Chains A and B, each alone.
Chain A
Amino acid sequence: KAGVTQTPRYLIKTRGQQVTLSCSPISGHRSVSWYQQTPGQGLQFLFEYFSETQRNKGNFPGRFSGRQFSNSRSEMNVSTLELGDSALYLCASSPNTGGRETQYFGPGTRLLVL
């Protein structure tokens, strides 16, 4: 099976702009989670989507949003970009939601905000 794919892999934006990142989960996986990784804060959970519904949400401002489509593909959007949003954004998928499900990560999208 193909792994989790994320597009684009690299992105440069300027402050105040918005950005949309895309994630295609492993075929058959219905849960998609998003994480932000920065040198200062490490890997932090953003949100999880399952069956097109947000199931869990991390401690991030409302500028960070996401959605999931009927084919389980997911997008996350960051509006009004700030310099501190520069990070590696990671997507992970699992067959279902819940504690017994192993998450598999994609390669990430590296976002640089200037």
Chain B
Amino acid sequence: DAKTTQPPSMDCAEGRAANLPCNHSTISGNEYVYWYRQIHSQGPQYIIHGLKNNETNEMASLIITEDRKSSTLILPHATLRDTAVYYCIVKGNEKLTFGTGTRLTIIP
């Protein structure tokens, strides 16, 4: 079973920041938080991952709370191309376990 909880859907206006929350209250000390997204019928695309520090790359920022029980993926300036299902995954040494994710819709 997936170890994360995400809202099933969210909307965000084009050009605004999209903030996608994820709860992972049972995360272990050696487990990473990964974010992927999947645009309709394509393979999942890696976005970002982190252990306990906040991370930023060219796609997004990842904010992990100090207790590591939740995190937020931030897309700073959402575009229509960011419409996708976003998966938050807690990963240790085992396989990726995908939940149902958050369907993010960017509104023009």
Contact = CB atoms under 8 A, between A and B. Distances in A.
Contact of B94 (A56, A88, A100, A107): A56
- Main SS at interface, chain A: strand
Interface string B22-55: 0000000011101010000111111001000000
Interface stretch (A41-49, A66-74, A77-85): A41-49
Contacts of B31: 99
Interface stretch (B12-20, B62-70, B75-83, B96-104): B96-104
A108 B43 contact: yes
Interface of A: 4, 33, 35, 42-45, 48, 56, 58, 88, 90, 92, 98-100, 102-108, 110
A107 to B, nearest CB: 5
Contacts, number: 52
Interface of B: 30-32, 34, 36, 41-46, 49, 87, 91-100
Contacts of B49: 102
Lowest 7 CB-CB distances: which A-B pairs, in order? A105-B43, A43-B98, A99-B93, A45-B95, A99-B92, A105-B44, A107-B43
Contacts of B92: 99
Name, among A58, A98, A102, the residue most crowded by chain B CB atoms within 10 Å (CB to CB). A102
Contacts of A48: 95
25 contacts: A35-B96, A42-B99, A43-B98, A44-B98, A45-B95, A45-B97, A48-B95, A56-B94, A56-B95, A92-B44, A99-B31, A99-B32, A99-B91, A99-B92, A99-B93, A99-B94, A103-B46, A103-B96, A105-B36, A105-B45, A105-B46, A106-B43, A107-B42, A108-B43, A110-B41
Given A92-B44, A99-B91, A103-B96, 5 more contacts: A35-B96, A99-B30, A99-B93, A105-B43, A105-B45
